[in-house]
Structure formats: C-alpha cells, structure tokens
Amino acid sequence: MAIQSNRETWLDDIAATPFMVRVLPPGTMEDYVSTSEQSTAGSGRTEESDSSDSQRVEPGEGVSAESRDTGPEGAEAASTDAEEDGSADAPMISLRDVHKVYRLRSGKEVRALDGLSLDVAAGSIHGIVGTSGAGKSTLVRCLTSLERPTSGHVSVAGQDMTALSASQLREARRRIGMVFQHANLLDQRTTAQNIAYPLALAGVPGGRRHPVVKRMLDLVGLADRGGSYPSQLSGGQKQRVGIARALADDPAVLLCDEPTSALDPETTRSILDLIKNVRDTLGLTVIIITHEMSVVRQVCDSVSLLEAGQIVESGRLEDIVLDVDSRLSREIVPFPKVPEAAVAHGESVIDVSITAHPGQPAAVALMSMVAELGGDIAAGVFETIGQAQIGRLAVTVPESDTEQAVSTLRHAGIAAEVRS
C-alpha cells in the first residue's frame, strides 16, 4: 500500500474508509475490524455486547452523531455546563463500596475488589499503584463498565454506570478514552485513519472527522505524520497516536493503563509531558494505572495505593509524601541504598526522613545535628514535589551511640529508625 504524501489526500481517505466492527461478549477488550484487509488492533475505546452471542454493529448504531461535540471545544462547553448546574466541585469519578467477586467452577469465590471507595477530582491526574494481583485490571474494567461490579456504585461524569441501560452505557463509554501499554494501532491504517477510527464507529460524517483529526495531530506533535503507517513510527510516536485516538471523540476522562512501561526513560518523560499538556489544554480528568513511582512523581496530582482489592492509602501527592510514616510515601521517595564501603565496622545505619517547604533550611539543621552526634551521612535522596521538599537520608553512627542518636533525632521532630 503506497504512502499518501499529500495531507488533504489522506484526510479524504478517512471518509472513504469502510469500518465494520464485531463486538465480542462481555469480558473482552478487543474489537475485530475488517475491511479489504484484516487488521489486528484495538480502537482505544471500550465496547462490549450485552449478550453472549457476537453481533455486528454498524458505525453510528444507537448514536446521534449530530448531537455530539467532536472536538476539544466540547471540554470547555462541558465545564461551563458543570459550573451552571453547581456541580463543578463534584468528583469526576466516584466509586462507592465497590465489590467484584468471581466464582470459580470449583465454587470458590475470589474477591478482586473488596469494598473499594475512591473519588477523583475533576481536572486532576490521579495515579493508581499496586502490585500484580492488587485488582488494578478489574478496577479498569469496572470503571469502563466492561464488567459490572457485584455490588456498589461507579459514577463517571455524574452518571451511575451501574444503573445505565445497554444503549445508555454505549453512549456513556464515549466519555472515557483509553490509552494502553502498547498503542494497539491498526497496522493497515495510516496515523490519520487510526485517529479517525472511533469517530467512524460513532457515525460521525467524514467531513466532520477532518478538522478533529487535524487538531489531534497538532495536539500530540505529529502534524506531519498523518500519512505514516504504524511500522514507520517509533514507540513514542505510536503512543502519541494512541493518545490522539483516545481524545478524538471528546472524552471527559482519559484512562491510561501502564502508558509508559514499554518506553525508554526519555520517551517516557515526553509522553508524560504530553499527558499533562493534554489535561491542561482540554480540561480532562486523567487516571494513570502504573507500577512506576517515577511516573507518579513526575505527573500526578494525587495517588492511591491499591492492595487486595482495597484502597489502603489515598490523597494529594504532596500530602502523601509529607507523611513520613506513610508506606506509599516511602515507595514514592524511597530510602537510598548504602554501599558497603560507606559503613565502617562497628557502625549502624539510621534511616532519616525530613520534610520542608521552600525557605526552610531543614537539611542544614539536620547535617549540623548529625555532626554533633558523631555521625555521617552515607547517602541521601532529595525530591521536590509541588511545594513539598522531602529528603531520605542514611546516617551512620557508632553502634554504641545508636539508641541515643535515634532518641535525639526523634526529640527534634525528625523521623528516624535503625535500618535492619
């Protein structure tokens, strides 16, 4: 297939591209797309059938394209509407006592979500972290209503997703854009056609897709790559296309599932900067599912720790890191490793946490105190998050003075404990 070099030509191709979608039974995340050639990728949107039989859905079925905003201007309109009806302070996403229980063939029950409650403020970037098996994937599926919770309520943009009919649910899902770990682009489609894909599914006429695609390409910094195919793009460029596709249908929420885990550090930073810029430009609410604390530090306003299907810690990022006793704080800003050579025979290592705000010379005061105790700073990490400054230090002192050193530091209001 030849590459279209003329921008207007590949934009014209968007309207002429036929789409047919086979929607799979509940519990699947994939759309199967067939045209003149077979493709193997998802759309960046969430769909499911309400029966166990596969069915064919034509683009625009059950959707009034004329009643929808198809560009970023819709975000401003939605914000204005929220202010007028007094709901501007309401959370964009709210989960209340959500349970999800799977029953195995053996009769055993597995609780993937166990009384989970969470509010995410409108316009924020909220990180959700947790180990494998914590319930992150199930949470994503319940947020998008690919699976209904066993009990509890999930509200997105003021709509209780658990109370909607099948047709209402299809429309409500258009308010949620999905960005995956791998971009999942349609290999046989150009960048422009990939971005136009959710609009085609929604029945938006070709003439109305053109300006949206142009805006999205400009927004993600790919204005000159509309005619390129996925095989001609770098990993970071593919992820930018995935973000553009997720934004094309004017969602209120952008749900990013491990969006940078397959990228190198430099590309990761650029993608996170893009996500933040998208939030600032369009006024979206963003949820990032991640296991990388560097992602949380760089881009999130708030964060939750998911464990065994429950939110065990949650709050503004600045407040979390300032809580030196918080487990999540210690994972976001961990204590430094200490080289064996830095610890002399007969010395102990004390882990010390200090917090401050700009203009407070906390580090200087601590170093003076350590010197008076006859100790030394073997290693240290300092981070500034918002207006919060936090330091994690490894202090070495003679073993005989360890107990006194810990007591003195704590008496001065400094968190200190002996490293085991």
Question: Over 80: is that where the pLDDT of 86 sits?
Answer: no
- Where does the pLDDT of residue 101 fall: very low under 50, low under 70, confident under 90, or very high at 90 and above? very high
Residue 88: per-residue pLDDT: 54
Query: pLDDT tens for residues 345-371?
Result: 889 999 999 888 777 667 778 888 888
Q: Mean pLDDT over residues 21-45, rounded?
A: 35
Domain 335-418 carries which CATH code?
3.30.70.260
Query: pLDDT tens for residues 198-223?
Result: 999 888 888 889 999 999 999 999 99
d(CA 6, CA 13): 11
Mean pLDDT (the chain) is 80
Of the listed ranges 24-33, 273-282, 310-319, the least confidently predicted one is 24-33
The CA-based angle 27-48-115, given to 5 degrees, is 50
Cβ(243)–Cβ(217) below 8 Å:
no
SS3 content of the chain, % helix, strand, coil (to 5): 35, 25, 40
Q: Mean pLDDT over residues 123-135, rounded?
A: 93
* CATH 3.40.50.300 domain locations along the chain: 73-322
Query: pLDDT tens for residues 243-288?
Result: 999 999 999 999 999 999 888 999 999 999 999 999 999 999 999 9
pTM for this entry = 0.76
Residue 34: per-residue pLDDT: 30
d(CA 238, CA 240): 5
Residue 50: per-residue pLDDT: 35
Q: Mean pLDDT over residues 33-48, rounded?
A: 36
- What share of the chain in percent tops pLDDT 70? 78
- What share of the chain in percent tops pLDDT 90? 54
Query: pLDDT tens for residues 327-349?
Result: 999 999 999 999 888 888 889 99
* CATH 3.30.70.260 domain locations along the chain: 335-418
Higher pLDDT, 241 or 388: 241
Cβ(29)–Cβ(146) below 8 Å:
yes
* End-to-end CA gap in the chain: 62
Domain with residues 73-322, CATH architecture: 3-Layer(aba) Sandwich (3.40)
Question: Over 90: is that where the pLDDT of 17 sits?
Answer: no
Sheet holding 31-33, edge to edge: 31-33, 21-23, 55-57
Higher pLDDT, 258 or 16: 258
